[in-house]
Structure 1
């Protein structure tokens, strides 16, 4: 039985993960950490991770980048892995994650959906055939409470495109965030557009637009369950692994 510490347990994703974990017989949420502690919770919950008394095998983090330092310190001290599902980390924080991965296993993905990671593969296939002759645009939609923009998943898709172009064409693309003003689109420009409205769970689309046809690759999350399931599967996968950074491609063997 793998024992999980869930950071952000009382948030929307935290509650979804906690509920879905009941369907697994090989893991359990043994405790949680959150700024808000509810009295009627059946899972031991703390405001400070250093107050945790339970034994823990893996941490799942679905909270805020501000908690990164204490998570890494706790994980390194206790020699346990972390599944980082939080987005919006700074360059300095990403460097800290990289350094910590020399001591503990870290699973990191901007999106815990299996479908999004398959979408990356489809985008790479599209780039092989279409990059030179088609305009590319990225749109992403989320609920009106989401803080970071563009989304972590949009950044992941941007990185996928940039890496492919560098490796195959030895050049870089220009990402234009929220086009504004009177200026023609440059040939190497990719527009990135963020929509924040209502309770949209998550929608990402990459558009390849040619002179006479349009190809649209799109992923829509219909429930937060898809991210929760991915996080729990990642925790199972990470347990017992050697120190380094893992991702969805590692888990899915893509």
Structure 2
């Protein structure tokens, strides 16, 4: 049975992880990391990775970029695999993640849902087939507490499309100050924040007289929790490297 550590254990995703792990026979939660130390039920919670008990097999991180960087330092020092589910990393932080992956196994995905990663594959196929005759716009919707925009998932989808075409698109996040016709090499990314929306993503392929829409809607955080747990178990025993959802799906 694998021993999992959860950073951000008192957040909504941390609690969703605990609920899903509780019903499994192949893993358990050893400890949690959060701003305030104490107990989360029977699970010990520490405020710093340096206070973690020994015996962890892998860490799942649903926190904030700064906390993720501190966690990575600990993981490298203790040869502990890490699943990064946090989004909103700066370019400098992304470089640090790559450096850490040279010394320890790191799994990173902006979205842990199988459906979202399938959506990315479908979007790539559509972009190749439809070409520049269809304008591409991505709309993402999340709860009002989400701080990064556009979402990491929207960028995941946009980056996947860009990697599949010959001439990459330029991302446009705001059109209110622009007074000109849309360029065929633009891709619009739009963020909606409101209420308790778990996560909705739409990719619009807008052509002459028709619009093709690919979409994904998450009904609960459980779908992301399941993906993160499966990624954590996949990562146990893996050599140093940067792994993605594609590696998990192909395993």
Which bin holds the TM-score, normalised by the shorter protein?
Answer: over 0.9
Matched residue, 1:211: 208
CA 90–141 in structure 1, closer or farther in 2 if over 3 Å, else same: same
- Secondary structure of 1:93 counterpart: helix
Q: What is the CA–CA distance in structure 1 between the aligned matches of 2:102 and 2:80, rounded to whole Å? A: 12
**Counterparts of residues 212-231 of structure 1 (less than 5 Å):** 212-231=209-228
2:62 is the alignment partner of 1:62 = yes
The aligned counterpart of 2:248 is: 251
Taking structure 2 as the reference length, the TM-score comes to 0.96
Q: Which residue of 1 aligns with 2:96?
A: 96
8 Å Cα contact 1:10/1:36 also seen in 2: no
Q: Give me the TM-score of the superposition, normalised by structure 1.
A: 0.95
**Structure-to-structure mapping, 1:118-197, within 5 angstroms:** 118-165=118-165, 169=166, 171-181=167-177, 182-197=179-194
Alignment RMSD: 1.2
Shift in Å at residue 74 of structure 1?
Answer: 1.1
Matched, 1:5 2:5: yes
Superposed displacement of residue 40, structure 1:
5.6
Q: Distance in 2 between matches of 1:72 and 1:127?
A: 36
Q: Which runs of 5+ in 2 are unaligned?
A: none
Q: Does the Cα contact within 8 Å between 2:68 and 2:84 map onto a contact in 1?
A: no
- 1:57: how far off? 0.6
The answer for the alignment partner of 1:85 in structure 2 is 85
Cα pair 1:7 1:32 within 8 Å, conserved: yes
Query: How many angstroms apart in 2 are the aligned matches of 1:94 and 1:175?
Result: 19
Question: 1:39: how far off?
Answer: 4.9
> Does 2:244 match 1:232?
no
> What is the CA-CA distance between 1:162 and the residue it aligns to?
1.4
Relative distance call for 1:150 and 1:234 in structure 2 (3 A) is same
Tell me how far apart the structure 2 counterparts of residues 172 and 115 of structure 1 sit (CA, whole Å). 24
CA–CA distance in structure 1, aligned partners of residues 158 and 222 of structure 2? 25
Change (3 A) 1:201 1:45: same
* Counterparts of 1:23 and 1:104, CA distance in 2: 29
Mean Cα deviation higher: 125-134 or 78-87: 125-134
Shift of 1:37: 3.7
Counterpart of 1:209 in 2: which secondary structure? strand
Q: What is the distance in 2 between the residues matched to 1:38 and 1:217? A: 44
The verdict on how the C-alpha distance between 1:212 and 1:224 changes in structure 2, with shifts beyond 3 A counting, is same
Instruction: Give the match's secondary structure for 2:132.
Output: coil
- Gap regions ≥5 residues in structure 1: none
Q: Secondary structure of the equivalent of 1:77?
A: helix
Question: In the TM superposition, what are the counterparts of 1:27-46 in structure 2 within 5 Å?
Answer: 27-37=27-37, 39=39, 41-46=41-46
3-state secondary structure, aligned to 1:192: strand
